[in-house]
Structure 1
Amino acid sequence: MDHRVNIIESPVLTDPLADIVSFLQPRAPYSKWVTGAGPWRIRREQTGQVFYGLVLEGAIRFQADGRDEVALAQGDFVLVPSSFGFTTTSANEKPEAGIVTTPVHLGNGALRVGRADGPADCQYLVGHCVFGSADAALLVSLLPDTVIVRRDERLAALARLVRDETLSKRPARDVVLERLLEVLFIEALRSAAASDTAPGLLRGLGDARISEAIRAMHREPARAWTVDELADLAALSRSSFFARFSRTIGVPPMEYLFGWRMVLAKGLLTEGRLPVATVAERVGYGSSSAFSLAFTRHTGMAPAHFARAATAAAAE
């Protein structure tokens, strides 16, 4: 199924989070239900896939590489968009230093860690997401390094559905499971947008003043925005707005706008329905030459060449 959404031609779409999710084209093709007892430690070295986990019962400890260890209790959700290596560890009994546990596959998407017999003292759901967008790296860079949502009942309810579907043998199980996992991912981002997250788009959307500027840029990407105009929308002085936006999002306002325009331009060029001049106009450039120069510097490829390459790739 093609998840792409052309938001340019729908001016009523002014939700930046919806824009980002639509362009990311998230899929969640993998999930496992894990039960654990006693001391255990799981280590994941590979990167390149966005990890998520949700504690269903009990507690675990989680540590992304280069980050502090955090305790996750029942109902807590963790998402690592930047795909760090990470370690998960039993919370009740500390494993010996350097010991890494090999999970036992129980079949049907279930794993056991720690002691093989006796009741489990924790249950959690783990999996990874993949993104269909060629601009996933840019968009994911606007998300925090680690997203933690504490005790969100909507996420917990979704996780219970995913667990039940994981363990079932019902028709179309894999299709239903993937859709549920996509909803789980989006709900986690939405929940994190309302929390005190690390610098990034989610934190910006949770800031009432900064979010006004972000929504305006998404609503009218072709407008010749200035920092002064965006500061007025945020009801802040120019200097206060610039500093607050940069601190909250992680990049300055014009850099964010440029990145978003390039994402939109790539989407339009990939669709192949519009000439370069029209694409340039729709993303805020007064001339094809100015747009071509900016696009080529950003991607290393001229717009016309990018469009032809995208068409050829789609035909393969």
Structure 2
Amino acid sequence: MIDPFAEVVMLLQPEAPFSKVVSGAGAWRVSREESGQTFYCAILEGSCLIQADGHEPITLQENDFILIPSAHHFAMSSLEPPPEGMDATPVALPDGEFRLGATSAPADVRYLVGYCVFGASDAALLVSLLPRLLLARGGQRLVTLVQLVADECRARRPARDVILTRLLEVLLVEALRAGSGGIALPGLLRGLADERLSVSIRWMHEMPARSWSVDQLAKEAALSRSAFFERFNRIMGMTPMEYLLTWRMALAKNLLRRSECGLAEIAERVGYSSVNTFSVAFTRHVGLPPRRYARQNPDLSQT
């Protein structure tokens, strides 16, 4: 059966082109207002606090990896209470690191921080399938990757930036894969970790063209209709039909970009009985008719 997680990661085309090492000492706080960028942070040593979009502060410790797929506001601070209402200004150190707080004191925390980008033109649609915040911790594979990233950050080897970018991409995927074992808000990862819901999710990915109903999906999950609907909505953060529609639109956009088949075949492959009904649904959710979307978003890798 198709692996839904692998499909989402493949369509997202994650990259990590920007990162920097930051250390903190004493009492400090830094906050950011971002336009929905994908923020990540890997704790190399020590510990600090992070608070994102109104959630309770989370203590980050060595080898933790936190990912916020669509960050709008977040703040990081020392465990020691920082001055009220005062943000620290990062100071560039001679070794390329940035320091928050006391510049002459030994560091209490050192972390790698940066932003990911997704190559998919429909990234916002796919990101909506991920949890709003993910904290992965404790897994040996993840710890090993963070340690490799830390070692590459400290060294000044040839092609350092190239290696670091590739390591961060692998770290991102591993964190997404391991996320259900840490702190993850409603989304695809939690749904796939649920033994009942994962069956219905996999069937939606295996057969997106099928005329699924909530009753049929509930039967696949061996749950009553009401229990399935409530459980899906709570764990996934959207209703079953909303998820199915989101996934169908993601598939349709990918097929339109690749220009490998006609509109009638695309409509059939994503569960619509006619080009007209598909075009209406696509236009409503994407904001462009299918043909115009294909013209404006060609897959350059296919040329």
- Asked whether the two chains share a fold, i.e. TM above 0.5, the reply is yes
Q: Which of 212, 234, 244 lines up with 1:225 in the alignment?
A: 212
**Which secondary structure does the structure 2 equivalent of 1:82 belong to?**
strand
Distance (Å, rounded) in 1 between the aligned partners of 2:284 and 2:111: 45
- Cα distance per residue 1:157-208 (max 9 Å; x no partner): 2122112223333333222211111111111111113446221111111111
Deviation at 1:95, TM superposition (A): 2.1
1:197-236 equivalences under 5 Å are 197-236=184-223
1:33-112 equivalences under 5 Å are 33-91=21-79, 93-106=80-93, 109-112=96-99
Distance (Å, rounded) in 2 between the aligned partners of 1:75 and 1:163: 10
1:1-316 equivalences under 5 Å are 14-91=2-79, 93-106=80-93, 109-195=96-182, 197-311=184-298
- Cα distance per residue 1:223-244 (max 9 Å; x no partner): 1212222111111111111111
- Cα distance per residue 1:135-167 (max 9 Å; x no partner): 211221222221122333322221221122233
Contact map agreement 2:37 2:115 (CA 8 A) in 1:
yes
Distance (Å, rounded) in 2 between the aligned partners of 1:300 and 1:200: 24
Q: Which amino acid aligns with 2:266?
A: V
Contact map agreement 1:62 1:69 (CA 8 A) in 2:
yes
Contact map agreement 1:62 1:72 (CA 8 A) in 2:
yes
Distance (Å, rounded) in 1 between the aligned partners of 2:236 and 2:299: 35
**Which secondary structure does the structure 1 equivalent of 2:116 belong to?**
strand
Distance 1:133 1:285, change over 3 A: same
Distance (Å, rounded) in 1 between the aligned partners of 2:302 and 2:269: 26
Cα RMSD, aligned residues only: 2.1
Structure 1 portions without partners, runs of 5+:
1-11
Deviation at 1:255, TM superposition (A): 1.3
TM-score norm. by structure 2 comes to 0.93
Could you tell me the percent identity over the aligned residues?
Answer: 53
Deviation at 1:124, TM superposition (A): 1.6
- Cα distance per residue 1:252-276 (max 9 Å; x no partner): 1111111101110110010112110
Contact map agreement 1:60 1:73 (CA 8 A) in 2:
yes
TM-score norm. by structure 1 comes to 0.89
Structure 2 portions without partners, runs of 5+:
none
Distance (Å, rounded) in 2 between the aligned partners of 1:311 and 1:265: 13
